[in-house]
Every structure is written in structure tokens, then in C-alpha cells.
């Protein structure tokens, strides 16, 4: 059981965020779902209660709006008190585009939500956790944290989140707060499925470059997140953990000029 622990999950209404909510729920935690889609979050909340969550709170959250983030943190305080884990799953994707063709507005939107929104959440809860002297924060990196991709807004944003994770880990560590990140591979979220269906992603190309010949499931990432927030990871901070079916290793291995016979 959780021992009445509380986890905050942004973007908890779908995809990796939803799977993360369900993983904490199965362990008996209280879960706070922050999402702009309150209706869908309510559906996830009901499933989380049935899965064993001690309690579930749905609080509206727009990561692009500083006032919304502040209100979200205040309501979490009022309804739950102290928080043991914060998981930054909220964010938006970007389809492939040539660098010169990308509208600056698209860049601004990705960074406003994925980087600035994550920073705002981390400041709001980081202040509380460092005063309390305990807690775990998880940021959401990506394969693009380590490899370039034709996503000139999304990829640099995920590199920035790696640096943010390391900076926070060093800053918060002496107070007893751990900060890590996960780097999901090509994950079969609803957003990914939609992009596959519209031809914006090639699933066979992904499998061809993966050591384990399948796509990552949201539950795979949720398990890694839960581990990093658990006491089993009490000596781990400042790391980015790839959950990618071996894509990073295999794509490099198979591109070597001389392959073994």
C-alpha cells in the first residue's frame, strides 16, 4: 500500500499520463489529475477509483497559463495537503517539418507548454517539497533528448528538459527531493495512433530500428515512472531513463559501417 501517499499527474487524462494515474492508483495512492480536458479526466478518475486509488481529485490545468498553474497548485494544497510525487506528463507533440518551414508560432506553443509549463509546475510544487524535505519529481523527456529529429520545436524542448532535470536534482537534492526524467520511445498513445493512421508516423520504420520488436506501451513508461518515485529508487536523482524497446542502442548499432557476419 501507499501509506496514504499522493501523486500529481499532469496530462493525466490520456496516454502516458493516464497510464501513470492507473499505476499509482493500483498501488493505493491518492492521485491528482491535472488536465485541460476535464471531461476525459473524469472518466480516468472513475477508472482509477475502481483500480484501488485511495482517492482521486480532478483539477483543471492549462500548462500554457501561469494563473491556471498557480490555481492548480493551490487547490491541490487545499484538497490533499502535502504531495509525494509530481509527474509532468502534460505536453503537446509536433509533426515532422523542415526547419525553415516551421512557423514561429508553432515553436512558441511547444515551448510554452512543454518547457515553460513544466517549469511552472516544478516551481510551484518544488517550493512546497523542498520546505517539506521530501518528494520525487519526474519530467518527460524523449528519444529526441538524445537524437536529432525533424521536429525543430519539440526536439530542442526535450533537450531543455534534460538540463532542467539535472539542474533541479542538484538544487533540490540537499533538501531531500529527488528529480528524474523518463525518455519514452515511440509509444502507442492515442496521439501516436492518430499520427500513424494519418500517415505521419511509419510504425514499421520504428520496429526496424528497435532491438525489441514492438512499440512501447503507455504502461511501460508508467512502470518506470512509478519505480523512480518509489523508495526502491531512493539513491537515484538527476537521471533520464530511456523506455524505448532498445531504439537508441539498436539504431546506433545497425548504422555501424561494418556489421558482424
13-71 pLDDT, tens per residue?
Answer: 999 999 999 999 999 999 999 999 999 999 999 999 999 999 999 999 999 999 999 99
Please return the burial class of 56, using the count of CB atoms within 10 Å of its CB with bins 0-12, 13-18 and 19+.
Answer: buried
In a domain, 34, yes or no: yes
Which structural domain, as residue segments, surrounds residue 47?
6-253
In a domain, 259, yes or no: no
In a domain, 1, yes or no: no
First CA to last CA across the chain, in angstroms? 51
Look at residue 180 and tell me whether its pLDDT is greater than 60. Answer: yes
154 is annotated as an active-site residue = yes
Catalytic residue among 146, 154, 186, 253: 154
Q: What is the pLDDT of residues 71-82, one digit of tens each?
A: 999 999 999 999
In a domain, 72, yes or no: yes
Q: How many domains does the chain have?
A: 1
| Strand (E) or helix (H) holding 56 | strand 55-60
Indicate the range of 172-176, 236-240, 253-257 predicted with least confidence.
253-257
In a domain, 258, yes or no: no
**Phi then psi dihedrals of residue 63, to 5 deg:** -65, -20
Q: Check if the beta carbon of residue 158 is closer than 8 Å to that of residue 93.
A: no
Look at residue 2 and tell me whether its pLDDT is greater than 80. Answer: no
CATH code for the domain in which residue 238 is found: 3.40.50.720
Amino acid at each position: 500500500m501507499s501509506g496514504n501517499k499522493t501523486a500529481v499527474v499532469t496530462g493525466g487524462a490520456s496516454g502516458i499520463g493516464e497510464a501513470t494515474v492507473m499505476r499509482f492508483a493500483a498501488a493505493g495512492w491518492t492521485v491528482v489529475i491535472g488536465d485541460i480536458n476535464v471531461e476525459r479526466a473524469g472518466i480516468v478518475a472513475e477508472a482509477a477509483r475502481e483500480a484501488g486509488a485511495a482517492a482521486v481529485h480532478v483539477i483543471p490545468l492549462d500548462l500554457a497559463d501561469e494563473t491556471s498553474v498557480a490555481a492548480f497548485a493551490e487547490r491541490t494544497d487545499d484538497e490533499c495537503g502535502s504531495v509525494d510525487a509530481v509527474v509532468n506528463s502534460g505536453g503537446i507533440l509536433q509533426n515532422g517539418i523542415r526547419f525553415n518551414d516551421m512557423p514561429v508560432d508553432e515553436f512558441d506553443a511547444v515551448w510554452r507548454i512543454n518547457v515553460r509549463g513544466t517549469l511552472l509546475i516544478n516551481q510551484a510544487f518544488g517550493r512546497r517539497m523542498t520546505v517539506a524535505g521530501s518528494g520525487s519529481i519526474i519530467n518527460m523527456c524523449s528519444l529526441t533528448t538524445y537524437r536529432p529529429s525533424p521536429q525543430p520545436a519539440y526536439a530542442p524542448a526535450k533537450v531543455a528538459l534534460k538540463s532542467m532535470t539535472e539542474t533541479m536534482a542538484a538544487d533540490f537534492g540537499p533538501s531531500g527531493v529527488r528529480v528524474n526524467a523518463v525518455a519514452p520511445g515511440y509509444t502507442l498513445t492515442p496521439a501516436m495512433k492518430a499520427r500513424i493512421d494519418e500517415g505521419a508516423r511509419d510504425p514499421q520504420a520504428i520496429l526496424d530500428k528497435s532491438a525489441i520488436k514492438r512499440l512501447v506501451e503507455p504502461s511501460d513508461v508508467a512502470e518506470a515512472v512509478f519505480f523512480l518515485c518509489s523508495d526502491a529508487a531512493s539513491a537515484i536523482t538527476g537521471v533520464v531513463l530511456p523506455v524505448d524497446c532498445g531504439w537508441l542502442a539498436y539504431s546506433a548499432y545497425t548504422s555501424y559501417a561494418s556489421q558482424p557476419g
